[in-house]
Amino acid sequence: MPELPEVEALRESLVERLVGDRFRRVVVRERRLRRPIDRRALQRLVGAAVCGVERRAKYLRIRTDAGRSLVVHLGMSGRLVSTDDGAAEAHEHVTWTLASGRMLRYRDPRRFGLVYVVSDRTIERHPDFASLGVEPLDATFDAHHLHACAAGRRGPVKSFLMDQRVVVGVGNIYASEVLFRARVSPRRRVDTIGPARWARIADATRAVLAAAIDAGGTTIRDYVGGRGAEGRFQHELAVYGRADAPCVACGHPVRRSVMAGRATYACGRCQR
DNA sequence: CTTCGATCCTGAAGGC
DNA sequence: TGCCTTCAGGATCGAA
């Protein structure tokens, strides 16, 4: 479900709700996520104050003054929402109560997500974080970086863009959107891409992700922000989910295909 | 090493 | 209405 813009929008909405507050109680109803939840580790964060809410790739990191961070990954169907009160709904696997009385709720029907605690001292060496690529909104992300990462590879550029070891945060929706904006076919092999296309891909990646963050992310089905609000970028999608509809640039029908088992959308006329 | 396919899980949507 | 199939925003694992 959530790609970088959704997690970043979530981060922004949770910062003001969480920082300065303190975990008072935690209830784990279902521990079987992608990896089992460590109840005791979550329990040991009770009493700790939240001192920051950060994002790395698609991971949300809630820092505490205990020198440990609560890490949340939303998988496909996860939600993390801050409320003033209310009862647990279906598939709400973890509920935190904070000193302010506010609640933080993790809900994830498909259970592809993650909730765990990691020491700030070792988080960079954690297997989830150790091999992550560059942040697409950092200055080090550019055409040169993409070109260098592509050396020795020959697969399609869409899979390459979604490879979190190359650049983080681009998932299935934004991969199609970025390549449309860059006018590059998702099936184009990376060993046939020259400097001009890499530059367009880097520029389009930044532009699409930034616009999606501004719009509060994309809500296709499950995603909501930290206050339960849907994103608005679904209204700005150029190709994703628009099979057979006219291309916004040339009017040619948008084509849906399947790559690596994932729905892929492109304009066969605009993208080469 | 890369790349591909299968897999984890539930619910919504569409076809008949 | 109800049953069945397909599909869904992620990431990992084993195999080729």
Q: Is the pTM of this model over 0.95?
A: yes
| A6 tagged catalytic | no
A245, A254 in Cβ contact below 8 A?
yes
Q: A1: Cβ under 7 Å from strand C?
A: yes
Which of chain A's residues 181-200 bind strand B, using a 7 Å CB cutoff?
190
Q: A219: Cβ under 7 Å from strand B?
A: no
Q: How far is the CA of A252 from the C1' of C4 (A)?
A: 35
| A158 tagged catalytic | no
Nearest residue, CA→C1' of B2: A153
Residue A42 pLDDT greater than 70, yes or no: yes
What is the model's pLDDT at position A150? Answer: 97
- Tens digit of each residue's pLDDT (9 = 90 or more) over A105-150: 999 999 999 999 999 999 999 999 999 999 999 999 999 999 999 9
What is the model's pLDDT at position A221? Answer: 87
Q: How far is the CA of A77 from the C1' of C9 (A)?
A: 8
Mean pLDDT throughout A241-269?
A: 95
- HSE (CB half, 13 Å, CA atoms) of A7? 27
Q: A218: Cβ under 7 Å from strand C?
A: yes
Mean pLDDT throughout A11-28?
A: 98
Nearest nucleotide (C1') to alpha carbon of A222 = C9
Mean pLDDT throughout A26-52?
A: 98
As a whole number of angstroms, the distance between CA A126 and CA A10 comes to 23
Which of chain A's residues 144-183 bind strand B, using a 7 Å CB cutoff?
152-156, 159-160
The mean of the pLDDT values for chain A is: 97
Alpha helix ranges (H) inside chain A:
4-18, 39-43, 127-130, 143-150, 157-161, 172-182, 195-214
Mean pLDDT throughout A232-239?
A: 96
| A2 tagged catalytic | yes
Backbone angles phi, psi at A134, to 5 degrees: -75, 155
Q: A177: Cβ under 7 Å from strand C?
A: no
As a whole number of angstroms, the distance between CA A4 and CA A8 comes to 6
Nucleotides of B under 7 A from a protein CB: 1-12
Residue A242 pLDDT greater than 80, yes or no: yes
Q: A11: Cβ under 7 Å from strand C?
A: no
Mean pLDDT throughout A174-192?
A: 97
- Residue A1: which pLDDT band, with cuts at 50, 70 and 90? low
| A236 tagged catalytic | no
What is the model's pLDDT at position A222? Answer: 87
Q: How far is the CA of A98 from the C1' of B6 (A)?
A: 41
- A93: enclosing H helix or E strand: strand A92-98
Mean pLDDT throughout A190-211?
A: 98
- Tens digit of each residue's pLDDT (9 = 90 or more) over A47-70: 999 999 999 999 999 999 999 999
Mean pLDDT throughout A216-245?
A: 94
